[in-house]
Amino acid sequence: MLLGLTIKESTCPQCQTKNPLLAERCQGCQADLSKLFTCRELSCQATQEASSFCRVCQTRLTGPLSNRILPYGERVYRLREWLGGGGMGEVYRAIEQDQQGKNIRDVAIKLNKEVTQHDLCTRFEREVAALARLQSPYSVKVYGYGEHKEDEILIAQYMIMELLEGITLQKYSEQGPLPSEEALLIFSQIASALREAHRFGVIHRDLKPNNIMLVGRSKDSFQAKLFDFGLSKDTSKAGADLSSSGVILGTLWYMSPEQARGEDIDQRSDIFSLGVILYQLLTGQLPFPASNLFELYQLHPLGLPPLVSRMPEELQEILRGCLAYRVQDRFRTLDACLSMLEKPLPPFTLKILPSSSELPRADIPLFEDSFERAPEELLGSRPWVSSLLTVLAILIVSSGFMAFLFYKRTLTRDKKTDLELRLPPSSPLQLRNHPQHRLLAMKSPHASQRSTPRPEAPPQIREERVEPIKKSRPQPPVNRRKKPYKKRPFRIRVSFSWPKDCSSVKLRGLRGGAWEPLRNKRLLAPGHYKMLCENTKQRLRKYHTFEVFRSPAQQEVSIELQSFRQRIFIRPWAFLYMDGFFVKECQSACEIKMWSGTTKLVLKQCPSGVSAQRCLQQKHAQHVVLQRKLTVTTAIQPALKLRWDPKTKLHK
């Protein structure tokens, strides 16, 4: 979860005057700066009016709670830009104000909106309790904890934190391997913050470069900050643990072997994750690059990669003490590890070859192989070698060309058929007029059609008749009429994107037709279409209409859906249907999950004298008493009331 914001001023879009972020009005045109938001992207930093995404770089700009005011004691906090979000909540930049409305300072506020889930609320309170006890300069500071309520209904939990101005260690380490002095400085600062947390009995369990922020103006004065204790475990308090044995929590590449197996862990699991981060800073790559848990189970017992053997002996001892496969072979506490860092270590930097920027190598090559050497080293510097190779190449090419010509000639050569005339051995034939007359008649294809009578042969002589060879005549060309050219319909390639909550997405024309399953990309004719996003398990059924224009040649259609927890009150013994789905266990008051967009709510009731169980079995006995359509963009507060007058039959 990203908490950094490295901007200090905003530019007024009207007069282009630069103002500090805490300014209430523009110093040039006196415009109200509370309605303007500044993009947190370093390459953009455009100031604009409220919108979900930046109009310049499409970075997330605001959230559903932006510009909301959260009271806390004598202070008031106005939520501003959306900084990040994860599985445990959302983070906003906020401005702390006093009772007179004067801006005091910038802070970060982390919210947990899933207040209906007991486990998430408990984890959020645990994170606040863990961070409140930490006083290390390398841990994020917590200023307070509060609950946001509207009409006495709990909406969200929030934590007021220090605003970290910098970049995450993950982005900083993407440039390549760091020098050993810089990597060990970051390692020692995070180890100091972890040592204090371990003394209080808090285990982080999700240590990774994305949870470490580097704050400071230059490389010489930066400072590492550890945050995001959402998955932490407090061993100092007795009670049931939220993640019992068999449940795997954390990030894949930074898990210890016992954490990946779902076993009980202690502070040595954090030491293993810290060793993975140190190896990544020194080499620019992961020691266990697994794509799933099964590969991780196979890589852990192999131990450290061979690249560690090229490092100084002091670094090897630190990495072996952190990344040992067995728990008993690692450092018991971080005190022993930090004591080794008090001694000066020799400088060391891995260099990346220009030909391969992905595989870092040390100054001394890891191995020498013959296929990596130059051809001169393998064959020597003799002059006759190059000429011999040239002659061999010419012979191979010429022989292949001659073989091809010979094969082509055998395919095109005409095959002649010899005509054999077999006569009886008794006496020769006496042909009329000419000795070759009979032979010519046999060769003629129309010999049988002539009217010349055949001479009668003597009775004692029999002639063997040889059938003439029929030669096939060339067929005259057939005059085929060309088919008329049919102009293909004009189609446009359209790419679709929809949220993962849609288990099935269908498409059809707006005027009607059958629903067809939708793919990511499709060729469509210009016109109006209708999409259906559906998920029966989550009671999701949303329609989306769009139009395909004749230009440009490629278009994009995207669906954005958000879910909101909403408390609803209805008259007793009424059955609620939301977008055609029946909502169970909602007779008088319940909490439903509503999706952004148009939602159709229908209440049905059975006639008097019919029990609820029988009415559910016989749906034809139900009759509609209320219909209502809602266009939802944010949560409806404090609650939604669906009432109807029994005297009238139907309310819309």
| Cα–Cα distance, 358 to 361 (Å, whole number) | 10
Profile the chain (652 residues) by mean pLDDT over runs of 10 residues.
54 74 74 79 80 84 84 87 74 86 86 77 80 85 84 82 86 86 90 89 86 76 80 58 50 87 87 91 88 86 83 87 90 88 78 43 33 38 65 85 76 46 44 46 46 52 56 63 66 88 90 85 88 90 88 83 85 81 80 88 80 74 85 79 64 48
Query: Are residues 92 and 79 in contact, defined by beta-carbon separation less than 8 angstroms?
Result: yes
**Residue 474: inside a domain:** no
What are the respective helix, strand and coil percentages of the chain, to the nearest 5? 25, 25, 45
Which 3 state secondary structure label does DSSP give 514?
Answer: strand
**Residues 16 and 132 occupy one common structural domain:** yes
> Would you tell me the crossing angle of helices 334-341 and 267-283 to the nearest 10 degrees?
30
575, 622 contact by CB (below 8 A):
yes
Domain around 547: 492-558
Q: Please, are residues 31 and 47 in contact by the beta-carbon 8 Å criterion?
A: no
Q: Is 12 exposed, middle or buried (0-12, 13-18, 19+ CB in 10 A)?
A: buried
Residue (of 178, 191, 194, 256) closest to 229 by Cα position: 194
CA distances from 205 to 119, 127, 214, 334 (A): 17, 12, 20, 15
Of 83, 129, 132, the closest CA to residue 110 belongs to 83
- Residues 62, 194: one domain? no
**Co-location of 302 and 191 in the same domain:** yes
In this structure, the answer to whether residues 52 and 173 fall within a common structural domain is: no
Q: What angle do CA 11, 14, 15 make, to 5 degrees?
A: 70
Task: Give domain status of residue 388, yes or no.
Answer: no
3-state secondary structure of 533: strand
- Does one domain contain both 283 and 330? yes
Q: Whole-angstrom Cα distance, residue 284 to residue 265?
A: 28
Do 282 and 152 belong together in one domain?
Answer: no
For residues 32 and 172, state if they share a domain.
no
Q: Are 498 and 559 in contact (CB under 8 A)?
A: yes
CATH at 626 = 2.60.40
Tell me how far apart the alpha carbons of residues 570 and 590 are, in angstroms, rounded to a whole number: 9
Nearest-5° Cα angle at 391, 390 to 397: 90
Domain boundary among 558, 573, 606: 558
How many domains is the chain built from?
4
Q: Any idea what the CATH number is for the domain that residue 178 is in?
A: 1.10.510.10
155 membership: H or E segment, kind and range: strand 153-161
Whether 108 is covered by a domain: the verdict is yes
Clarify whether residues 254 and 334 are in a common domain.
Answer: yes
Is residue 82 included in any domain, yes or no?
A: yes
Q: Are 266 and 202 in contact (CB under 8 A)?
A: no
Residue at a domain's end among 315, 338, 353? 353
Let me know if residue 368 belongs to a domain: no
Q: How far apart are CA 582 and CA 576, in angstroms?
A: 6
Residue 429 lies in a domain: no
Planar angle of CA 92, 117, 602, nearest 5 degrees: 100
Say whether both 534 and 589 belong to one domain: no
pLDDT for res 475: 67
Q: How far apart are CA 296 and CA 448, in angstroms?
A: 89
Beta partners for residue 605, in sequence order: 623
What CATH number does residue 112 fall under?
A: 3.30.200.20
Q: Are residue 44 and residue 113 in the same domain, yes or no?
A: yes
What are the angstrom distances between the C-alpha of 397 and each of 391, 394, 404?
A: 10, 5, 11
User: Residue 592: inside a domain, yes or no?
Assistant: yes
The reply to whether 14 and 140 lie within a common domain is yes
Residue 419 within any structural domain of the chain: no
> Is residue 230 domain-shared with residue 84, that is, in the same domain?
no
Q: Which pLDDT belongs to residue 471?
A: 57
Single residue among 161, 190, 208 that ends a domain in this structure: 161
